[in-house]
Amino acid sequence: MTPTADATLRPIPFSPVTLPAAIDDLRARLRATRWPDAPAGAGWSLGTDVAFLRELVAYWADGFDWPAQEAALNRLPRFRADVSGLGIHFVHARAATPVAPALPLVLSHGWPDSFWRYAKVIPLLTDPGAHGADPADAFDVVVPDLPGFGYSDIPTGDPLTSIDVAGLWAELMTGLGYARFGAAGGDLGSHVSRYLALDHPDRVVAVHRTDAGLPHYQGDPADLAPEERAWLHSGAEWAVAEGAYAAMHRSKPQTIAVGLTDSPAGLAAWIVEKLRAWSDNDGTVESAFSRDEILTNLSIYWFTGTIGSSMRMYAANAAIPPAQLARRVEVPSGFALFPADLVRPPLAWLERTANVVRATEPARGGHFAAFEEPELYARELRDFFRPYRGR
């Protein structure tokens, strides 16, 4: 779909360059880290493995080349634009050589990341012909940073909910000249994509998600299928065993934001543990992400100072009324449930909450599937959205 002539947004090309003094400050803080003790043999059982983290921090201080990684990210077509008074950073990568009108696609990330989540998959979606796929499956790809994440503005008032962000993305796509488009995402981005489909069904041709969020159900459990009841139970168990971070984000984000904004080692500990726990790996985080990939994600958080504002979105979403959570998505919906992702819903739940036209279980990948397995993720999107091109 070619952008229309009445596009109103005025995107400004954006290629940030971090000042040397900021890099020097980071390195000094890393070298001055005051390390905690750790029980012998604890490994990852009590949280981040301190021995692993010490090695990662040493490399961040004296081996990692942030300017090179920043320059690589700047090779993406990046922009900033005013959307309802907020400066929004986004990648806008047009289809390379579309055989047919390219389908616009807005990809929404989650926590703990940013547009970084989709950096590997963008070329596979905009130029499928160069990667062994059908050129007719090309997309115009838009990848925004959520407000308070990455290089988008931090909201100065109340933090925004996923519903609010969906409204911003609809305005962003209008401003770029796209009347109709697809939406996809995971984690917080799954919520945003869901509300895009719920609140703008006349514009979203189809929506693809890698999760259905944690379960919310206020009806009689007896009305659920056995596998749905089991899923509700497993969701509650997961919240007890793994959900302490989310409880902190929802209730007291400013408390931990002080430490994570001041200490890059603390920031690394908070995020790296999740990269390991939520990815498809052999027990070591570096089997899913290279050290440079991990530190690129961390450096975006560090240099933008957005760890606190990113966590506040959890507090905002916790106040979304239950009636909103119970709405059913009628826009054609697809799900790709990667094997190492968080609590994975049964098909019965997906069909209860959405108009499911496709649900798959790819062979590999976890919560960060677009980054962990970009080829598999790109294939999922190409296959799912193919029937909705030209609509």
Active site residues: 187, 314, 367
Question: Measured between alpha carbons, how far is 346 from 212 in angstroms, rounded to an integer?
Answer: 10
Cα distances (Å, whole numbers) of residue 48 to 36, 52, 262, 298, 327: 11, 8, 18, 15, 37
Closest CA to 97 of 129, 120, 124, 123: 129
- Quick one: tokens of 6? 């009445």
Place of tokens 């726990």: 277
Place of tokens 């990568």: 93
Closest CA to 325 of 170, 160, 191: 191
Place of tokens 């390195």: 27
Instruction: Give CA 142 to chain center in angstroms.
Output: 13
Neighbours of 253 (CB within 10 A): 20
In 3-state terms, what secondary structure has residue 333? strand
Place of tokens 């634009």: 81
Q: Is the peptide bond before 112 cis (omega within 30 degrees of 0)?
A: yes
Write the DSSP string, 242-294: H-HHHHHHHH-HHHHHHHHHH-HHHHHHHHHHHHHHTS--SSSGGGTS-HHHH
Question: Measured between alpha carbons, how far is 263 from 369 in angstroms, rounded to an integer?
Answer: 28
